[in-house]
Amino acid sequence: MKLYCLIIIILMIGFLACHQSAGRRFELPRDADAVLQFALSQYARAVESLTDTTKMPVQARSDGSWVQKPTSDWVSGFFAGILWYLYDYSRDPYWEKQARRWNAALEQEKSNTSTHDLGFMLYNSFGNGFRLTNDPHYRDILIQGAESLSRRFNPVVGTIKSWDGPAEDHLTIIDNMMNLEYLMWASKVTGDPRYRNIAIQHADVTLNNHFRDDGSSWHVVNFDPQTGAVKQKRTAQGFSDTSSWARGQAWGGYGFTMMFRETGDERYLAAAQRTLDRFIERLPVDRVPFWDFDAPNIPNEPKEASAAAIAASALLELSTLVSDENQKKRYYRVALEMLNSLASDRYLAPANSYQCLLLHSNASVPAGVDVDVNFTYADYYFIEALIRLLRYH
């Protein structure tokens, strides 16, 4: 393993030195392979340096170390998911071995009914693993996890409960749209329509309640669990209850794009377009949003690279789903513009310090928690988008 890592680093060192010393940027789609080679190099260093596989790497530091958190953390599945994508791209058995190694500790989350984030935790890790290996053990883990997730569904409200809290509240966040692909998959592989029905009901209620007339989204909707009535619409990680939190807008656009792909329901296509059109309309010149589109001190506000990566991946898929040629070209072009910015020195992590890809993402700006840092979810969707770019181009 050490020899493999050394070879990758040696092969990349000249290229990376040129990339960083000259201040040049990758030009996509031509250089998509080069960026993915950079990802292979960075994450080869990461898996070589990380020894405790019981805690998941969630954030890379500038000194080459990582913040690691328990498998119950919502970000826990992204690191293994990244390794599966690197195997998907390279087809090198080394990456399958590493992905399996980091998957192992996540298995215990299949019985976790205290969180809605099982899509991020299990589907991004075991889901990609099953897609690439057809491992029946991964299938069993995923099905049990889908059952755990479905237990958070309230049929009166019609959504999966996001956060636990007072008994009189049923909180659903826009992020929860990212669980629905997991449930749609579970329905297909088991033949049980219950998972699909939950996903569709959740999408419908979200569509009817999470969006303003201008296409922007609320982060949190609080429902009465006994009647399904809306009690409150607010934010948790955005600037204000009336603002548009960039990552939430990206989650919504991604989720409805996927739901149209899975169902063919034109309402979901319209929702995806409305949500992502609003996202595009408010992008700054470099096409990477600030953390909230309505933050008061723009342009002196933190950027949100993760939102750009998520939205770019969604837009690439959306460009293959719409029928109008002008829309196809527009969505593809904007995705490419976002990815080109992310592939520049302004957003890519320096190879001589970090062991990741993207800088400039945030956990919670209002709370002052992990502002302007790396997060594995930004890297995950960036790599996903690059792979999609290669396949769609």
Structure tokens at 7: 């070879």
Q: Helix %, strand %, coil % for the chain, to 5?
A: 55, 10, 35
The count of C-alpha atoms lying within 13 angstroms of the C-alpha of 229, restricted to the half-sphere facing its C-beta, is 4
Residue 229, number of CB atoms within 10 A of its CB: 11
Conformational region of residue 45, where left means phi above 0, alpha means psi within -120 to 50, and beta covers everything else? alpha
- Which residue is it, tokens 């998509």? 32
324 is catalytic: no
175 is catalytic: yes
Cβ atoms of residues 258 and 310 within 8 Å: no
Question: Which is catalytic among the residues 117, 213, 286, 294?
Answer: 117
Selection from 37, 125, 19 nearest residue 78 by Cα:
125
Cβ atoms of residues 68 and 57 within 8 Å: yes
* CA pair distance 271, 273, nearest whole angstrom: 5
* CA pair distance 386, 382, nearest whole angstrom: 6
Distances (CA, A) of 210 to 171, 181, 218, 221: 12, 19, 5, 7
* CA pair distance 43, 37, nearest whole angstrom: 10
* CA pair distance 49, 376, nearest whole angstrom: 16
Question: Which is catalytic among the residues 73, 135, 175, 214?
Answer: 175
Beta bridge partners of 153: 160
* CA pair distance 311, 251, nearest whole angstrom: 8
Cβ atoms of residues 121 and 74 within 8 Å: yes
Question: Which positions are annotated as active-site residues?
Answer: 117, 175
